[in-house]
Chains A and B, each alone.
Chain A
């Protein structure tokens, strides 16, 4: 032996302890890609820069030039502009436009343009000047473009263009040329993407209605940008903007028209507007439904292959069914002629390779089956159930959790007045038969408190609902009792009480005895009878 014998209690115990490893740290180390915070923010935030057009001739500032040179060029360009727009200059407007264009190209040359240098050099006041009424369309577009890209940067940069807001908003009006209105909408959209306060500011400066009016037009590029900007303004958390939108006459019809006939990119942006309306503005949503929102919505849900499109469409449907039964009924009706109906569409999403679609589709189903008994029966009869079971067994945590909500909601009677909602035996027993228990028991073991709770609640249903103690046996068989036992020590009062309650009630002293020793054994054990009834024979004792 290498070590002298050690009789201390600690080391004796150590022999029996299972060793512990650390897997997560190693895996993280293996991930070689480091993404800088700036880069990450640029991707994640709700702001979009505009790159140079493909057919733009003239000098393009990309690969061959270093950052240093680009910054220097930018500063020089700003200074040139300063001179051109000062009162002492007598230069033609053409020269001014050329200078603006040069600046704009610098500010859109790469995915990380020198906007900070430009702002530092004092470009914003000049650009504001360029937005004056009476300026040529070209000048307005170039100035707004530069402002757009400045506003696509971090908070500091976005807020730097606030002085330009009143003019940008003014140029959203009906008399502006389409390219001008579009570029101004883009800049406004970036400011809205900054945050709640910026959104409130924009609303108070009157950006909302002009933008909404742009949706009435038939110009795809413009409508697309305006819709995107609008989605950034109305996304809340306050519902005020989403509601106020509808002050514009004909907005509902316009939204539905674009949803039905627009090209895919346009439909995507309009769908996001619908997402926020359905989430925040209840009566306006009803208005949209009345105007015919649902047919095109479900049509896209049924036919689209594009993740960009499916995401907002599915989410809109999800928001709708999170409302009330009448929305669900309306959707079912609108989709009745599509292959598989509404559930066929949802099965497509559930079976998608994209986790987000799966998760949000499962959430949608969970809200549908939280409706009437008829809704539950309709879902039960569809292909949704096998798909959900598969997800519960195999998918990632967030998807499994939603699938669990859906399957559980499917298994209980509608939440009515009663203290104890009854399980729907037909549904519950089928789900158990099809092997849903391991998935729920896995959730019980999860560190996420909500998931664990969910698992326990489903187990309770099974234990209570299945007759003749079948529930107890099945749960134990799938290691459910083991999972409950671990929770006996849990520091969360709720979980601990729940687990103990289940163990006490369904795995109490009498558990397992009847099967082993026949009926009547419980009385013997408790001391009331000496022999179980089957032992007593014809004469009795």
Chain B
């Protein structure tokens, strides 16, 4: 029924303006205005500075991965680190994900703090046995004797035109496993704070970055630039306050959600945007508090819809705040297909700003608010 309504309204003239496609560059413009700080920092610089500071503070932290040393990082995240810390602490590995991930885990068993970089998280599938069986489960199997203070980081999700095998989102896969913490930063502040917290954390952390966000600039306050700045793991951030509908998103989709919220505000709908930051542990308290305030929820993710992050959030809300929902929870996700290569098909396979606002509009129309 909703699907039919969606298609009907989709053809209406009123939505012509919200069906406009925005270029990626416009994302930055839309989000720039919301913080009052002066300095700007790209996500890339934020990650680099976080790595630098943590390696400087604790000599047992080391970085390993493909191209992290002499190539300065496949996406230049580890630029300058080899010169500063030497080849003993910034290791270029051979192309052996299973092997070097296991080596990182073994080193963590013995008290070192490795950061294992995957060139993309798609390659982590070659090492997933070690991430799950040797890292995530070890503290439990050994009844607390052996903890694994390791960080697995790298770009996750779709980039531009890289095809099916380089474009999958792994948030739901890793968030399924007890014993792992899964973090998904969005802005430069998130990237710095969460990476520092991840490195200091005594448990295995999956740190899912996004390639298309690396070059994006975000305003950062002086507090963020301090070397002791850290964000707590397991706490979401309300990026934009609102009262009509809650939108939860993570990673790149936060930018899209903020754009959609901007568009909706012009229609008189005030949307609350939650940047999840942490997929496991999920900040259920914040999500539920927000839903109790707005009574409507839309979850947004880039990955495949079935068994995804949105499904878990929906269930959490149904379990805890069912009576507060005025409408069914809506889920916006990527298309349920492997990522196609053709540019127009790829655009269709990933959520676009227009799809959010159109769905939101339908929901609110059904609830007779608009």
Chain A bound to chain B: no
